Amino acid sequence: MTRNPHTLGLAALLALAATTAPAAAAPPANDARAQASPLTLPDRVTGTLLEATSEAGEPDPLCGPVVGPTAWFRMDGLAPGRVALELRAAEGAGNVLAVYRREGGDLAPEICDATDRGGNGAVFFTAERGERYLVQVAAGIRADAGAFTLAAFRPEAPPTLPGPRLRPGGAVGTVDIIRDTEDAFSLPMRSGVTYRINLDAGPARTCRAGFRILPPGERDLAAPAVGGRPCGGYLTYTPGPEDGGLHDIVVVARPGVRAPRYRLTAAPLGADDQAPGTPLPLGRRVAGVVSGHGIDRLDLYRFEVTDRSRVRLRLSTAGASDLRLLRAEGGTIQCACGLSGDLELERALAPGAYLAVVQAQNGAGGRYRLLRTSRTITSASLTVNGRTEATSPRGTAVTIALTVSPAVSGGRVRIDAQQYDPLGGWRFRQRLSGTVSGGVARVSFRPTGPGRWRFGGEYLGTPGASPSVASGARLTVSP
């Protein structure tokens, strides 16, 4: 029998390929819960979800269902205390790091976290004596299964109270919801003295860290606070008659935020930080500096309004600062807040005392110039020979008076005279002008003919007094 050499070669190649083809890759050794790899403290291990599988009855963690392959680790015989886990996975959000407590044959979810876009996730939990824990690493919907690194360690111990003394220049540091959740600093405070406290941890909208003020002599971090701000920023606090002493200010990490850098400053209020405030002159700019990074967060100014006036406040600044108008007895009237650049407030104000506040926004502020201008709100009225309705013989001059209230001096007036024409109605005849002195402008007018006359007037105002329109006056000239 004759053999086809091409057929023989193909058969030999197929046989050779069958004997040399690599076997399918095996799942990782800790693919199943029963084969969970040991994880100690401290520890850093590498693993992979390539070729890993998902078991029947795979438990779902607290932060969402598991849809991809998983790998398992076990932590047994842990000493009581906080335990932290950090996962560095393939880039892409959605991988899951979860901790379960083993209760016989069941698993009780303890805590979990999904990785961010960079593939980073972290959790912490409090281990109890005699408990056994399982750690689950699972591939998410938006992340490819791949290699990962898992670190286990004890977080930094909570601070002891009292903390180190807060220096005049403040303190800088970082807090982290996993590694270092709180920092504490002590500050002696006297009863009846108001203190300003500022925590700068970035823009307020990000809420990266907060702070709590503990009562004097307190040694328990979990004790109720006497003041604070959950997202940082500026606060004033005044100890009561029995509350003087060494207080602790505790900087607290926010969930989901990794190691923000902060600056904490505190000091008694200065003269420009509290009532009655610095006088704000009329028509003259004042200059100052406020900073959202430090303790000089705001400047307070006071001014008085003697007559009902339209007041304008203009703030010129290159940084982001808020401008507020307040009543001296308390209560915000108007606020240009959350904006940047030059700001302006304008409001009609009754006689009284008022406050203007320039306050730097978180992480912003800088040099500024503030200007207050004001115009008294006036009203005007007209009379002819001292009456709103007057009569006069033909050919006789009358005195028209425009009265401005409140009484001001300076500023021009315009008065228009109209005569009634039975065939055509009211017709303009003459415009008169004068100057206000002691609240009154008087002009003389000689009607050009008999009949009915009426007058309308306007006060044109000054830089310090607003214009106003006068009510009409009437005159009847006898034939």
Residue 56: predicted pLDDT: 85
> Higher-confidence residue: 340 or 358?
358
Reply yes or no on domain 379-477 having CATH 2.60.40.10: yes
| Segments of the chain assigned to CATH 2.60.120.380 | 33-153, 171-268, 271-375
Rounded to whole angstroms, the maximal C-alpha distance in the chain is: 153
CA distance 186 to 205: 27
Which pLDDT score is estimated for 14?
38
Q: Give mean pLDDT, residues 271-287.
A: 91
106-158 residue pLDDT tens:
899 999 988 888 888 899 899 999 999 999 999 876 666 788 999 999 999 88
pLDDT at 253 over 60: yes
Residues of the chain with CATH 2.60.40.10: 379-477
CATH classification (class only), 33-153: mainly beta
Q: Is the pLDDT confidence value at 15 over 60?
A: no
Task: Say which residues have a Cβ less than 8 Å from residue 369's Cβ, sequence separation at least 6.
Answer: 285, 286, 287, 315, 316, 317
206 or 478, which is more confident: 478
SS3 28: coil
Q: What CATH code is assigned to 171-268?
A: 2.60.120.380
**Average per-residue pLDDT for the chain:** 89
Percent of the chain with pLDDT over 70: 93
Across 19-28, average pLDDT: 63
Domain 271-375 indexed as CATH 2.60.120.380: yes
**Residue 439 DSSP class:** T
Q: Are 175 and 209 in contact (CB under 8 A)?
A: yes
Beta strands in 306-388 (DSSP E): 309-317, 321-327, 332-336, 343-349, 352-360, 365-376, 379-384
* Distance from C-alpha of 266 to C-alpha of 200, rounded to nearest angstrom: 12
CA dihedral (143, 144, 148, 153) in degrees, to 10, reads 20
Q: What is the pTM of this model?
A: 0.65
Instruction: Say how far apart CA 193 and CA 472 lie, in whole Å.
Output: 59
Side-chain half-sphere exposure of 22, counting CA atoms within 13 A: 3
> Comparing 59-63, 222-226, 227-231, 313-317, which segment has the lowest mean pLDDT?
59-63
Q: Phi then psi for 75, rounded to 5 degrees? A: -130, 110
Choose among 271, 284, 288, 294: nearest CA to 323.
288
Question: How sure is the predictor about 57, in pLDDT bands with cuts at 50, 70 and 90?
Answer: confident
Segment 346-402, tens digit of pLDDT: 999 999 999 999 999 887 889 999 999 999 999 999 999 999 999 999 999 999 999
Rg (CA), the chain: 40
Write down the pLDDT at residue 58: 86
